[in-house]
Structure 1
Amino acid sequence: VWGAVLPEITYSHKHVEITRVNGTMINQNQVAAEFSAKTLGFKTFALIHDTTDYGRAHAKWFTEFVEKAGGKILSTQGTAKDQKDYAAELTRAKADKPEVVWYGGLTPDGVRVKVQMDKLGIRAQFQGTSGIKSDTFNETAGPSAEGTLAFVEGAPTEKLPGGKKFLEAYAKAGFKEPSEAYGPFAYVAANLVIDAIEALGPDRAKVAARLKRTKNANTIIGPVEFDDHGQNTVALISKYVSQDGKWVLWEDSEYAAGKRTLPGLKFKKL
């Protein structure tokens, strides 16, 4: 597996054939919670999430890691997917006076939450899951998108250890479709399988067992090492901030450089 993020894919069974090179929403929410509560210093959170498996699971893991990081969840509210009006949920959140409003869901709903949050005058940082990290979020939310935080499994291809060489080889191969964000992960997953087949022959059981024992494999996405469940324990999670209508890696942003201040940090000073 090279793209899906639900933890159950690797953690809800004992099938030796399943391994995953990318991280899960567990990894994503651990990074998101620790960055918000420890690095940025936010301590109180109001959570809103859609009631799909995606939204509920993200809320569960974010809550767990926020509390471990010393933060406090003031409220958690589930909403329907494609809900149009968030006035009730946001009014309750506003009354709690959180330092962060967190959304677990996809772009269309994330845009509505952020825009309506601003209209209600909620003075809090807005933060979301990987589901809101799309160009459409910035385009649709407009100025309201500025300073929004999002966390994503993986990283821009050119930032990966072997990313530049991968892009050069991909271009040279003449593929018509772009490699996309998970292209390098698919490449690594396929190569691990190919290497095992070349070493052992087309024996399903032997190949699966060898893959499960992968330790510190040197790949273009960095080291890959599977635990007993077949999950890569060296997960790569990236932090993004919306800056001037584009998603920018936190480390490359003017916010990280101190040239700009996140909305939530401005509100803390008021």
Structure 2
Amino acid sequence: MTATAGLLVAVTLTTPPFALADVTVKIGQVSPLSGELSHIRKDDENGVRLAIEDLNARKLSIAGQKVTFALASQDDGADPKTAVLVAQKLVDEQVAGVVGHANSGTSIPASKVYTDAGIPMITESATNPKLTAQGFNNVFRMVANDVRQGTVIGTFLVKNLTTSRVAIVDDRTAYGRGLADEVEKAVIAAGGKVVRREYGTDKTSNWMAALTSIRGQNPDGVVFAGGDTQSAALAQQALRLGLNAKFIVGDEACTPQFIKLAGAAMTGQMYCTLAGVPPARMPQGPAFFKRFEARFGTPVQLYAPFAYDTAMAMAKAMQEANSVDPKVYLPTLHKLRMTGVTGPIQFDDKGDIMNGAITVRQYEAGTWKDLDVVR
């Protein structure tokens, strides 16, 4: 045998008959990227985008294949019907998992679409407890739900702020109404009285009729469950009416945008809650916030760190299951134990984050100041 022939045989014997092709894994992300909530929810999309960039920088291989992650982003406009349509579109695109939907009113109807397709769905911010109470084994939540948030708000008002007469307003979305219902239960359980319930919609800008009705009940505490644009309008109009009460809003209004829009209505009597721990208490919070702003040219608005962790949790489950097939790695999500930017990540039997936190904040000197973290 010649030297050339020997080399040819050696190459033939040591080269596998075929090489596994690289694989592109699509991660879906759905939030209202247009409309009044877009400033918050573009934040979520960028959180997922940053996670995908970080994952691709690691040059991961799963089941012997080099994996490239890709973002498949959709705008549901915070509309339940649109949410179902874009969910089916992501299923048709064969995404391996979905980060979202961002809102409760869209997450609940869309979850059935993903369940039928066997695709994991992890919401970074939808807090209505009904989402994970449906019995779907593919649905998870990265933050504490509104049973927890509503309990904290109601208890804080009565026990910490010593209010006894509370008025509650909501925007009649699945999020707003659900949170308002939980607040009412908590206020009563803590020994307070709900003197008035009023509502509008997520498009309402004139709250004067509702506030006039509330003022007649002489409340010392007012709760609004809705987005930051509606919350700011309500706060400004309450100021014009001379409604002197402590004011607390839920997580969708616990934003820099609310402070900006509310203007002179922002005083030391303004509070909010956040479904999660504040940046200072996140294991990698300060570094993440700095890197996020450098990458996108804007500071984190609300739930970008949780959206980032959601995408990372999916990738971690794929690695541990050694598969990017949704049906194969889904069971691994139920057993997942990891520490993300936001802290420890582990889901309970329903798919809710375990030991989820609620942060209580107070307005002070142009910003939200963290008062307490309740678990």
* TM-score of Structure 1 vs Structure 2, range by shorter chain: 0.7 to 0.9
Q: What per-residue deviation string (whole Å, max 9, x for no partner) do you get for residues 187-245 of structure 1?
A: 33233333332222215344222211346x44432222311111112112222222233
Query: Who is 2:276 aligned against?
Result: 154
How many angstroms does 1:45 deviate by?
0.4
Displacement of 1:92 in angstroms is 1.9
Matched, 1:76 2:197: yes
Secondary structure of the structure 2 residue equivalent to 1:127: strand
Q: Hey, what's the Cα distance between the residues in 1 that align with 2:228 and 2:315?
A: 36
Letter in 2 for 1:150: C
Alignment partner of 1:93: what SS? helix
Does residue 90 (structure 1) correspond to residue 211 (structure 2)? The answer is yes
Between the aligned residues of both structures, percent identity stands at 23
Q: Which residue of 1 aligns with 2:320?
A: 199
Q: Is the 8 A contact 1:10 1:231 kept in 2?
A: no
- RMSD of Structure 2 on Structure 1 (CA): 2.7
The Cα offsets for residues 225-267 of structure 1, whole Å up to 9 and x where unpaired, read as 311111112112222222233222235xxxxxxxxxxxxxxxx
Amino acid aligned to 2:358: I
Aligned to 2:181: 60
Q: Report whether the alignment pairs 1:210 with 2:332.
A: yes
Q: Indicate the residue corresponding to 1:258 in structure 2.
A: none
Alignment coverage as a number of residue pairs: 248
User: Which residue does 1:220 correspond to in 2?
Assistant: 341
Asked whether the equivalents of residues 115 and 141 of structure 1 are also in contact (C-alpha less than 8 Å), the reply is yes
Say if 1:20 and 1:232, in contact at 8 Å, map to a contact too.
Answer: yes
Q: Counterparts in 2 of 1:1-270, with a 5 A limit? A: 1-8=122-129, 10-147=131-268, 148-167=270-289, 170=291, 175-176=295-296, 180=300, 181-202=302-323, 203-214=325-336, 217-250=338-371
Distance in 1 (alpha carbons) for counterparts of 2:232 and 2:305? 29
Equivalent-residue separation in structure 2 for 1:167 and 1:135 (angstroms): 14
Quote how far apart the aligned CAs of 1:62 are: 1.2
Contact 1:5 1:23 (8 Å CA) reproduced: no
The answer to whether the 8 Å contact 1:142/1:245 transfers is no
SS at match of 1:154: coil
Q: Which amino acid aligns with 1:194?
A: A
Structure 1 residue 175: Cα displacement: 3.6
CA separation of 1:121 and 1:153: change in aligned 2, threshold 3 A: same
2:213 alignment partner AA: R
The Cα shift of 1:178 comes to: 5.4
Tell me the alpha carbon deviations over residues 21-58 of structure 1, each in whole angstroms, 9 at most, x when there is no partner: 22223322222222222222222201122222232112
Higher normalized contact order (CA 8 Å, seq sep 6+, divided by chain length): 1
Provide Cα deviations, 1:48-94, integer angstroms capped at 9, x if missing partner. Answer: 22222232112111112222222221110122443343332222212
8 A Cα contact 1:106 1:131, kept in partner: yes
Contact 1:138–1:145, Cα closer than 8 Å, also in 2: yes
CA distance change for structure 1 residues 19 and 87 in 2, over 3 Å: closer, same or farther?
Answer: closer
Runs of at least 5 residues in structure 1 that lack an aligned partner in the other structure: 252-270
Residue 12 of structure 1 and its aligned partner are, at CA, apart by 3.6
Deviation at 1:176, TM superposition (A): 4.1
Larger radius of gyration: 2
TM-score (normalizing by structure 2): 0.59
